[in-house]
Amino acid sequence: MGSAAEPIELTISELAYGGDGVSRHEGQVIFVPFTALREKVRVVVTEVHKTYSRARLVEVLEPSADRVVPPCSLFTQCGGCATQHLAYPAEVRAKVAQIESALKRIGKLEKPVLRPALTGPDYAYRNRITVHNRDGRIGFLGADGRTLVDVARCLLAADDVNQKLAVLRERPRPRPHYSIRADEVRGEAFYQSNRPLAKLLQQQVVAAVPEGIESILEGYAGTGFFSKPLTERGIRVVGVESSAAAVPVFQREAPKAELLEGRFEDR
Ligand SMILES: C[S@@+](CC[C@H](N)C(=O)[O-])C[C@H]1O[C@@H](n2cnc3c(N)ncnc32)[C@H](O)[C@@H]1O
């Protein structure tokens, strides 16, 4: 590989978990943020590690048809988003490919069977965000993982979450981080963060349970997100959940389900 400052030309062969483009060059794997599948790009290598390198995109020589104009002016500075330069269907395809590869590589499944991905709005869907506060400036950490990027409105956040962000920005309190949550997200328990897709996911899981099933053991049951609608189908559900924050919410949200508190592996 040339010296660190010398530009090289690469073709992106896959998108890694997290969104970076991946290219193989002279036996080395190179990650290049903000690139798309099969694009030809000119890059400068910025980090060389034992098993991989990282590079900065200098120029897109042959753009992919998947490339779109990123809607947020902070894209590439802000660390919150990695794939705004991709059309939503391309982003979904990349994520499906990553799941399939993980099932093969880690799950050791030869031919994993995946249902078609559920899709929803590509912006304004998140029911919670975590922002940082540096001397009254509120925003996300930058793509470098250190700098604070001032964010007045996040395109991923649902409107009600952005309204709460605006209120916080007017009167920040002296805390280093804030978790800004929609009203339905309470306490420290886990909630699905994509509001419209969560509903679709719930419907799909409940519909996938065949007629005639009388009881279900649900590991990692959280706040009863799946247990509740399953009990409403008349199924006996026993949830297992280890988080002290989730347990009371589960009991309130899914009162017809039974709950075993503790680790699923210990049952
Ligand atoms: C990703 S959340 C999913 C929760 C719920 N199924 C949902 O979709 O909203 C995973 C849940 O598993 C719980 N959990 C993590 N490790 C666990 C373990 N070893 N045994 C039981 N629950 C666990 C977490 O507290 C969390 O509530």
pLDDT tens for 105-138 read: 999 999 999 999 999 999 999 999 999 999 889 9
Domain that holds residue 104: 6-111
Confidence label for 4 from pLDDT (cuts 50, 70 and 90): low
CA 82 distance to own-chain centroid = 10
Q: Which residue owns the Cα nearest ligand 1 atom 18?
A: 263
Ligand-binding annotation for 214, yes or no, is: no
The CATH number of residue 41's host domain is: 2.40.50.140
What is the percentage of the chain residues whose pLDDT exceeds 90? 93
| Side-chain half-sphere CA neighbours of 21 within 13 A | 30
Number of helices (H) and strands (E) in the chain: give both, helices first: 5, 13
Pocket of ligand 1 (CB under 6 A): 190, 192, 220-223, 225-226, 240-243, 246, 263-265
Q: Which residue owns the Cα nearest ligand 1 atom 5?
A: 222
Mean pLDDT of the 177-198 span: 94
Residue 146 forms part of a structural domain: yes
Q: Give 67's DSSP letter.
A: B
Q: Please enumerate in sequence order all residues whose Cβ is within 8 A of that of 109, keeping only pairs 6 or more positions apart, or say none.
A: 103
Domain termination residue (choose one: 60, 79, 111): 111
Q: Does residue 168 sit in the same domain as residue 221?
A: no
Residue 173 has pLDDT above 80, yes or no: no
The CATH number of residue 246's host domain is: 3.40.50.150
Give pairs for 15-21: CB < 8 Å, separation 24+: 15/83, 15/94, 15/97, 15/98, 16/98, 17/98, 17/102, 18/82, 19/82, 19/83, 19/91, 19/94, 20/82
Number of structural domains (the chain) is: 3
Tokens of 224: 């009863």
Residue 172 has pLDDT above 90, yes or no: no
Residue 187 has pLDDT above 90, yes or no: no
pLDDT digits (tens, 9 = 90+) for 130-155: 999 998 899 999 998 999 999 999 99
Residue 235 forms part of a structural domain: yes
Residue 123 forms part of a structural domain: no
**Cβ contact 53:8 at 8 Å:** no
